[in-house]
A = this chain, B = another copy of it.
């Protein structure tokens, strides 16, 4: 059985109920998330063995975050505690043409002081067969970058599969690092790339300006520059508006290009974490199916299902995702 390690910030999410704005409510719901946490929990819900490495606050909020991960069966024994507070984000959920809005309070969070001394990679990667990280972590702070790099070096040495979702968000890179250089430095340890043309262009640099149609070419160029990478997977979202999206996926595994049909998500419940559900679905598929195309289809269906759950967590099980792949999308009752 595969054992996956994820590494990244745990965030508390706070949002008014339904489509309310903070200004019109005094009630909130809270969840815990963070892109790598979401992947970890989804993998655990697929029945996988998962360990999350992080730093959280040493107060009752941190205790609650820890119990939240434990509830889903994610191991929390490698999570450090910090005197800084847990990172928080505030969310107002939009609808139709109104976008959702997010405001972060994470720049001085418990995770922002992460550093190699706080993580024992030898212990954390002991039985690990798969390591997953995203571009959020090296964007947040230098300690995140350095700690991650140490883990990746060890992972490569131990021939652990490494998947990366580079998720490039320019607004996050505040501590002075150059995104292209930093991501490139870390990409050399990775084997699976989960991202689209934007991320590829950012990493490949100004010489290449691929358009959305150039996926195969861009993938080939990426693999050329980062030869440890074997396969690229991309999720394509076509939003009609904030309440109605279509999702499909494509891949280049060095040998063949494949693409799924659009899945039509007519009544979105919550789209936070749907990219993470895609990554987790893909990791689960690659770990268990020995069929890249089936893994990609599993990822797309898992991502589509996530749109139907409130909160960041993809609750879907393997059977539930397989049902979608098998065309059972009419939503008939399970009794």
A236 in contact (CB, < 8 A): no
| Bound Cα distance from A330 to B98, whole angstroms | 8
Which of A153-161, A185-193, A209-217, A307-315 is near enough to bind chain B? A307-315
Chain A 34-70 interface 0/1 with B at a Cβ cutoff of 8 Å (1 = within): 0000000000000000000000010111011001101
Are A95's CB and B243's CB within 8 A?
no
Are A26's CB and B18's CB within 8 A?
no
Are B22's CB and A266's CB within 8 A?
no
| Bound Cα distance from A101 to B323, whole angstroms | 14
| Bound Cα distance from A222 to B30, whole angstroms | 47
For window 61-105 of A, CB contacts with B under 8 Å fall at: 61, 63-64, 67-68, 70-73, 84-86, 88, 90, 92, 94-105
Interchain nearest-CB distance for A267 vs B (Å): 4
Cβ-closest chain B residue relative to A320: B98
Given A85-B105, A88-B88, residue A98 in contact with residue B331 (CB < 8 A):
yes
A294 in contact (CB, < 8 A): no
A141 in contact (CB, < 8 A): no
Interchain nearest-CB distance for A202 vs B (Å): 17
Are A266's CB and B240's CB within 8 A?
yes
| Bound Cα distance from A19 to B98, whole angstroms | 21
Residues of B within 8 A of A102 (CB): 333-335
Residues of B within 8 A of A242 (CB): 308, 330-332
Are A73's CB and B70's CB within 8 A?
yes
For window 115-172 of A, CB contacts with B under 8 Å fall at: 169, 171
Interchain nearest-CB distance for A188 vs B (Å): 29
Are A61's CB and B19's CB within 8 A?
no
Residues of B within 8 A of A105 (CB): 85-86, 88, 105
Cβ-closest chain B residue relative to A84: B107
A256 in contact (CB, < 8 A): no
Question: Which of B19, B90, B330 contacts A308 (CB under 8 A)?
Answer: B19
Are A239's CB and B331's CB within 8 A?
yes
Cβ-closest chain B residue relative to A64: B22
Query: Which of A97, A171, A263 counts the most chain B CB atoms within 10 A?
Result: A97
Are B267's CB and A243's CB within 8 A?
yes
Query: Which of A67, A96, A332 counts the most chain B CB atoms within 10 A?
Result: A96
For window 262-293 of A, CB contacts with B under 8 Å fall at: 263-269
Are A26's CB and B25's CB within 8 A?
yes
| Bound Cα distance from A100 to B30, whole angstroms | 20
Interchain nearest-CB distance for A45 vs B (Å): 10
Residues of B within 8 A of A104 (CB): 85, 335
Instruction: Contacts A23-B67, A23-B315 known; list 5 others, CB within 8 Å.
Output: A28-B30, A94-B308, A100-B334, A104-B335, A241-B264
**What are 8 A-B pairs with beta-carbon distances under 8 A?**
A25-B26, A59-B90, A96-B266, A96-B268, A97-B263, A97-B265, A98-B308, A98-B331
